[in-house]
Each structure stands twice: as structure tokens, then as C-alpha cells.
């Protein structure tokens, strides 16, 4: 029996997260063309009390035998500075697994020392070779490329393994070749692909574009099969689905699987669930995408009540609809409320360009790889 919250729609929110997302600052030192993070130009930092409230919840979960990993994300986490970040980490239970998503530009020896001591798992955002990063610029508009590569060079010198997240705009097979070769060149351990999201465009049908993404993933997976050097997150997720199906999972089982809550704690303590990408945004009827604040209520209480918050109920209805009607749901899970909201204008929708181009296309790409 799963502990769940809500469930009016049939699909319910899980109460015990596997990952907690922390926003230590809204600030990003870059100003990438495709970034949609609100407040990324403001330095709004997380007070110690917010950090402590989240850390205490993770400690309570750990004491009950449940491990929660922490991802520092949303804004550039390294922009808080290494000393402040060290202080934030000091409040977390020993042994907590910390991940960081960074643009790499601020990485130096002091940061690497912190990564070593706290066993922080690092992922860098780099889209591919230099020309693929032309939209990644500093606040002054200068290319960020040299600073990104300098940060990665420090990671490599210090022997810190890292993952690579690539935002891809042009899903041509040649681009798959460039991105995979670049991941191999820079020594990434794992590569993940993120189709550039077109938020707010209300999803025109894009079957042509999806077929391009299918070819992109087919090429990427074929390259990996011939030269399996850098792990591919997106093929691993297809493998996970294939293995689960072989062990007996069917679409009929999907409705019973709780939705991963992914609590995201914003700098000010507000908690968003189901997608970190909703943090800082507001719905025209439901208001801010929050379920409460960790300064006022324990995180566990916020999660147990979240299923009855109107916008969460609507998002859960969207997951439920996906799991009932979409044939890809066993591979996707249907819980992508931010993409549904930004593309379709509603949380209870189903198919988006984003899900066609990533979740559907990676499965079809895997099916169409050729020896």
C-alpha cells in the first residue's frame, strides 16, 4: 500500500519523495536566450531557517528509513558563493546525497574541494560544441563559452565526475553526432538531452518535428550502441521501462502508481510539487503554484495536504488522463504539469509538443535503431 495524498481523480500524489529540489538563490550569472526562470536577474537568497526546515524533514524521513536525495537547482546554485553553500550543507543529515545542476562558469578549486568533501554529484549544462552554445551569454551579453569550458576543465583536473545536460534546438542526426562526440571529448559520465521547450506557444501539432526527434534519438542511440562510452540518460529510461514491462508491468497497473511529489523548496520557503518548473509562476485562477511554506508547516504535512490543493488536483487529473489514454504512458508516467500548463494553458491536459519530442520520440528512436 502506498502513502498518497488526494486521489479525487484516481491518480494520487505520493507522500515520500525520492528527490527534493532546493533553490538556494533565484540568481543566475548567465542570461541564456532560452531560459524561462523568473527572477533569474535578482539575487534572492534562501534564509538559513528555510534550509533548516527542509533539512529537518529529510532527517525525519531518514530516521523512518526513507532516503531522500537533494538537488540544488533553479537559478545558478553556485551563485550563492562557496562559503554560504558550505553553511547550507552543514544543516543536512550526514550521508545525504546532494546533486547540483550548474552552468559550470563559477567552478574553481574551492568548489571542487566542497564537491569532494560532500560527495556532491555534479551535472553541467552545456549544449554541445561551441557553436551550439551561442545563446548562452553573460548578463553583459558576452558569450559564456570560455567560462563554461574553463569550469569543466577544473572539474576534470580535480577528478570530479560529472553529467552533461544538453538543450538541443535542431534535432538533426548530425547534431546527435556532434553532441555525443562532445560528451565523449569532455569526459562526461552521463549525457541527457532536453529538447528546447517552447513555453507559452499553445502546442501546434508537430508530427513533422516529432519525426525529426525520432531520427535524432535513433542516431544518438545507434552511436552509443557502436561506441558505448558515455551513458545516455534517455536510453536508460527506455531500458527501465522495457525491463519493467518484461517483469510483468502493464498499462493497467499504471493508475495505482503514485505520482512522484518532487517537492521544490523556493528560496523563500514556498513549496511547489510535481514539477520544479512551476516554482515562481502563478495560475490565473488558482494563484501561485505553491502548496504552502516550510516556515509555517512541516514539509510532510504540506505534502499530505497537497492533493487537495486545487491546482494540484487539476494537475493530478492530467496525469490520470494521460495514464488512461496515452499508449506511451507506461514509458512516461504522464506527470509533466509544467509543459502541459505552459503549452496547453491547462494542467489537466495530456499531449504536448514537449512530450512528443522527448518521451514519445526517445521510445520510437530506440525502436528504429539499426545494427
Partner 1 sequence: MSTLNSEHTSDKNLDEVLLANAEHFEWLLSPMPRSSTPPGHEGGLVFHKFNSMSQTWSRSDA
The nearer residue to partner 1, 314 or 351, going by C-beta atoms, is 351
232: phi then psi, degrees, rounded to nearest 5: -110, 110
Interface region with partner 1, contact rule CB under 8 A, candidates 49-57, 134-142, 179-187, 363-371? 363-371
Q: Which of 198, 275, 290, 353 binds partner 1 (CB under 8 A)?
A: 275
Establish if 163 lies at the interface with partner 1 (CB under 8 A): yes
As measured in angstroms, the least distance from the Cβ of 63 to ligand SF4 is 35
In the list partner 1, ligand SF4, none, the entry touching 22 (Cβ below 5 to 8 angstroms by class) is none
In the list partner 1, ligand SF4, none, the entry touching 322 (Cβ below 5 to 8 angstroms by class) is ligand SF4
In the list ligand SF4, partner 1, none, the entry touching 214 (Cβ below 5 to 8 angstroms by class) is partner 1
Q: Which of 39, 219, 277, 343 binds partner 1 (CB under 8 A)?
A: 277
Q: Which of 88, 183, 262, 309 binds partner 1 (CB under 8 A)?
A: 262
> Binding residues for ligand SF4, per CB under 6 A?
322, 326, 328-329, 332, 334, 336, 350-351, 355, 359-360
Interface region with partner 1, contact rule CB under 8 A, candidates 57-65, 149-157, 295-303, 362-370? 362-370
Q: Which of 88, 126, 230, 235 binds partner 1 (CB under 8 A)?
A: 235
In the list ligand SF4, partner 1, none, the entry touching 178 (Cβ below 5 to 8 angstroms by class) is none
Establish if 260 lies at the interface with partner 1 (CB under 8 A): yes
As measured in angstroms, the least distance from the Cβ of 18 to ligand SF4 is 19
Amino acid at each position: 500500500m502506498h502513502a498518497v495524498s488526494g486521489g479525487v481523480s484516481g491518480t494520487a500524489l505520493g507522500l515520500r519523495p525520492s528527490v527534493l529540489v532546493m533553490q538556494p538563490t533565484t540568481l543566475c550569472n548567465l542570461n541564456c536566450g532560452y531560459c524561462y526562470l523568473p527572477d533569474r536577474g535578482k539575487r534572492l537568497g534562501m534564509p538559513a531557517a528555510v534550509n533548516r526546515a527542509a533539512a529537518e524533514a529529510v532527517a525525519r524521513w531518514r530516521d523512518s528509513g526513507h532516503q531522500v536525495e537533494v538537488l540544488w537547482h533553479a537559478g545558478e546554485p553556485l551563485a550563492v558563493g562557496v562559503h554560504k553553500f558550505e553553511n547550507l550543507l552543514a544543516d543536512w543529515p550526514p550521508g545525504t546525497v546532494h546533486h547540483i545542476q550548474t552552468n559550470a562558469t563559477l567552478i574553481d578549486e574551492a568548489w571542487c574541494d566542497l564537491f569532494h568533501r560532500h560527495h556532491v554529484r555534479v551535472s553541467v549544462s552545456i549544449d554541445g560544441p561551441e557553436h551550439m552554445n551561442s545563446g548562452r551569454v553573460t548578463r553583459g551579453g558576452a558569450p559564456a563559452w570560455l567560462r563554461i569550458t574553463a569550469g569543466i576543465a577544473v572539474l576534470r583536473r580535480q577528478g570530479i565526475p560529472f553529467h552533461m545536460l544538453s538543450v538541443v534546438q535542431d534535432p538533426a542526426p548530425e547534431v546527435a553526432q556532434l553532441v555525443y562526440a562532445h560528451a565523449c571529448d569532455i569526459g562526461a559520465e552521463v549525457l541527457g538531452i532536453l529538447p528546447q521547450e517552447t513555453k507559452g506557444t499553445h502546442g501546434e501539432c508537430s508530427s513533422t518535428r516529432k519525426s525529426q526527434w525520432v531520427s535524432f534519438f535513433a542516431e544518438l542511440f545507434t552511436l552509443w550502441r557502436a561506441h558505448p562510452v558515455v551513458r545516455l540518460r534517455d536510453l536508460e529510461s527506455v531500458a527501465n521501462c522495457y525491463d519493467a514491462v518484461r517483469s510483468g508491468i502493464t498499462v493497467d497497473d499504471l493508475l495505482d502508481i503514485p505520482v512522484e511529489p518532487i517537492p521544490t523548496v523556493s528560496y523563500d520557503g514556498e513549496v511547489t510539487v510535481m514539477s520544479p518548473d512551476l516554482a515562481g509562476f502563478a495560475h490565473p485562477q488558482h494563484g501561485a503554484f505553491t502548496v504552502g511554506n516550510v516556515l509555517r508547516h512541516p514539509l510532510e504535512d504540506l505534502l499530505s495536504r497537497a492533493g487537495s490543493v486545487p491546482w494540484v488536483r487539476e494537475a493530478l487529473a492530467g496525469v490520470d488522463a494521460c495514464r488512461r489514454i496515452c499508449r506511451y504512458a507506461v514509458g512516461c508516467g504522464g506527470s509533466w504539469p509544467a509543459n502541459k500548463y505552459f503549452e496547453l494553458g491547462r494542467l489537466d491536459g495530456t499531449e504536448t509538443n514537449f512530450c512528443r519530442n522527448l518521451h514519445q520520440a526517445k521510445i520510437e528512436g530506440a525502436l528504429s535503431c539499426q545494427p
